[in-house]
Structure 1
């Protein structure tokens, strides 16, 4: 049994590019067969063929940048969403002054006819510069004066009766 060198089951993008660029010299020299190149670099003959095609088409084996999906909203529409959000939920017919992701989703859908998944709305809001806000835990109806009066007058009386 021959000694085989250990190789990872997955390579990083950097490692894959490094291997392609190392193979570039072999491909340009044209002295080795596809099979010999494949065996030396631990790839299939088909991979060597695709490298050769890529070199012919692009003139390089360097990695390309993945572009990703085209955004659903333009920059102008992002600005429009910011404006709509700053108008507040009440201005758009919601029952209270709280933005939730389902409400933001509905706002964008109604106004721009783009319906995001509710989980993606959070990412969109972050990209627009909005951050999650936590309620301060105080009721809108809170009356600090009545609370002070109760603490100063009623509470001591209750302690007297209980103690």
Structure 2
């Protein structure tokens, strides 16, 4: 059996914060605003996995009203989603992601992000796609949005 999940997340820019995408520090004069470390790529992947297995979404499991998650690393959220998937007998087969950002340019960091996601997900790097897209004048450039599709398969 296979299952597909779709995830989306976005955060506005904020001065004085780190910029994290896929668990990778990206050099930037500003980071992203959020209750946790505000990594929109890990948040979107987490939601995609949770959706594929029919679980509550990231906001329900890790609400931004809970002080336990203040500045928490998004890797914790991903690890929980992966744990729930394994409990249900599923593993990640492949991942396809789009990062929508006019700045910074994503292409110099794509391989590093793919390598880190490969390690976190236990999936071959070749099974992970990261695409950077600009807004091309659509919507104001005040943050970063990420969309991901994940394919899970039954481990049995």
Q: TM-score, normalised by structure 1?
A: 0.21
Larger radius of gyration: 1
Structure with the bigger percentage of helix: 1
- TM (norm. structure 2) is 0.22
Q: Which has the higher contact order (CA 8 A, sep 6+)?
A: 2
Whose strand proportion is higher, 1 or 2?
A: 2
